[in-house]
Amino acid sequence: MRDTESLAKRICKDLENLSQIQNREFGTQKYEQWIVTVQKACMVFQMPDKDEESRICKALFLYTSHLRKYNDALIISEHARMKDALDYLKDFFSNVRAAGFDEIEQDLTQRFEEKLQELESVSRDPSNEDPKLEDLCFILQEEYHLNPETITILFVKTRALVDALKNWIEGNPKLSFLKPGILTGRGKTNQNTGMTLPAQKCILDAFKASGDHNILIATSVADEGIDIAQCNLVILYEYVGNVIKMIQTRGRGRARGSKCFLLTSNAGVIEKEQINMYKEKMMNDSILRLQTWDEAVFREKILHIQTHEKFIRDSQEKPKPVPDKENKKLLCRKCKALACYTADVRVIEECHYTVLGDAFKECFVSRPHPKPKQFSSFEKRAKIFCARQNCSHDWGIHVKYKTFEIPVIKIESFVVEDIATGVQTLYSKWKDFHFEKIPFDPAEMSK
């Protein structure tokens, strides 16, 4: 990981200045935040020589992507089995070989393979397993022995850890009585797509039925208002947030006699949870004092606060943005190749974006979609990728819409460049990009 970071610094001497985050350590969420910040800065990095800009941006994109995967693996190895961390990296490098696989990726893959035998040996050593797993196994065995009908939610920090702990449970003969399900958010991070709403619903229905799953391994999405069936055991595995999150999480143990355990080897996590408990006590004391107030006085006070807050909101209300009618470029976020112009973008059913013209067809390649399916008026058939040699950045999908075969692109795959000023901007959602959005007209397809 240090070698990969050093390689990135050779490409960009100012790498350390691309983020304000300091004192980062490998295998932490703070390091991931640093990577994300640096990667975003790299995507809008500009030079007079556009070929050199493309080369440097692509190299930094690759180095930071690999660093993020290594960081994920360190988090997995710290809180689960080293075997799961190594399998995570093997899957990543398998996908790397199947994509662009340019000289940089070949070099990084070779460096990983040179260490693979040593990593395999270390991962097989049982003494390297996190002791928390033994504690988790003991708690689960005890609770299900006392009550075989126990229903559990196991909260963890990251999606990668969700998969690792599911694999650990399924591979542990002592926990053969468990039928684990997983629940993660819908957002996309680190090139991994989250669970769709139908997938979340399917898992929750199975969990509520208490037949298909008796333990749900989840990220923070499960404490954010999703309707989850009553459970009587909540386990926080190196998982802590603010006081609101703490109360929401514990509230998942709705059944009578429910229990909540915090499993951590980090003194900072324990201290944060103790602070949350103190804040909760302060909140409960405040509620008791409020209940002694005269009801008329209480209502008057609330009305005054609400009126004041509304005044502040109204005074700060932002005007509706005016669409920018100037034509702009869409560049590949990975290699900075020109993909298309906003003048050629059309909006289908107010939320899907396609590109007209034969020029764009030359800019991407298609591969069969691993999960083709029909939704609404669309039939998802293929994925589209940047056609530039050794790039293959994911740009979106190819669909059949009514009688038309068209590409559908996602804005998070592109850098937007103002043609007049050269300023480059990143958008994660189309709704944040205020350009002139022209509705799709089938008549244009026949021109």
pLDDT, tens only, 291-338: 888 989 889 999 999 999 999 988 887 778 888 889 999 999 999 999
CB atoms within 10 A of CB 39: 21
Give the span between the Cα atoms of 274 and 272, in whole angstroms: 5
200 confidence band (pLDDT: 50, 70, 90): low
- Tell me if 180 sits within 8 A of 203, measured CB to CB: no
CB atoms within 10 A of CB 98: 10
pLDDT at 150: 87
97 confidence band (pLDDT: 50, 70, 90): confident
Q: Find all residues with CB under 8 Å of 315, minimum gap 6, and list them.
A: none
pLDDT at 331: 96
Mean pLDDT across 189-214: 63
228 confidence band (pLDDT: 50, 70, 90): low
111 confidence band (pLDDT: 50, 70, 90): very high
Give the span between the Cα atoms of 246 and 55, in whole angstroms: 46
- Tell me if 420 sits within 8 A of 403, measured CB to CB: no
Greatest extent of the chain over all pairs of C-alpha atoms, in Å? 75
- Is pLDDT at 223 greater than 60 in this prediction? no
- Calculate the alpha carbon distances from 67 to 5, 35, 63 in Å: 7, 7, 6
Give the span between the Cα atoms of 413 and 398, in whole angstroms: 15
Give the span between the Cα atoms of 241 and 249, in whole angstroms: 9
Beta-bridged to residue 353, according to DSSP, are 347
pLDDT at 221: 64
pLDDT at 226: 53
279 confidence band (pLDDT: 50, 70, 90): confident
Of 262 and 16, which is predicted with more confidence?
A: 262
- Is pLDDT at 3 greater than 60 in this prediction? yes
Strand 215-218 versus strand 233-237 pairing type: unpaired
Q: pLDDT > 70: what percent of the chain?
A: 87
137 is in an annotated binding site: no
206 confidence band (pLDDT: 50, 70, 90): low
- Is pLDDT at 50 greater than 70 in this prediction? yes
Query: Across the chain, what does the average pLDDT equal?
Result: 85
Per residue in 155-185, pLDDT tens? Answer: 888 888 999 999 999 999 999 999 888 887 6
- Is pLDDT at 243 greater than 80 in this prediction? no
Of 117-121, 204-208, 403-407, the range with the lowest mean pLDDT is 204-208
- Is pLDDT at 229 greater than 80 in this prediction? no
pLDDT at 225: 52
pLDDT at 222: 53
250 confidence band (pLDDT: 50, 70, 90): low
260 is in an annotated binding site: no
Mean pLDDT across 274-290: 86
Q: Find all residues with CB under 8 Å of 309, minimum gap 6, and list them.
A: none
Give the span between the Cα atoms of 14 and 244, in whole angstroms: 39
pLDDT at 208: 64
pLDDT at 191: 47
Of 264 and 253, which is predicted with more confidence?
A: 264
- Is pLDDT at 186 greater than 60 in this prediction? no
Beta-bridged to residue 346, according to DSSP, are 354, 438
Mean pLDDT across 1-8: 86
Give the span between the Cα atoms of 256 and 376, in whole angstroms: 43
pLDDT at 323: 86
pLDDT at 385: 95
332 is in an annotated binding site: yes
Structural domains for the chain? 1-128 (1.20.1320.30), 131-287 (3.40.50.300), 328-445 (2.170.150.30)
CB atoms within 10 A of CB 244: 13
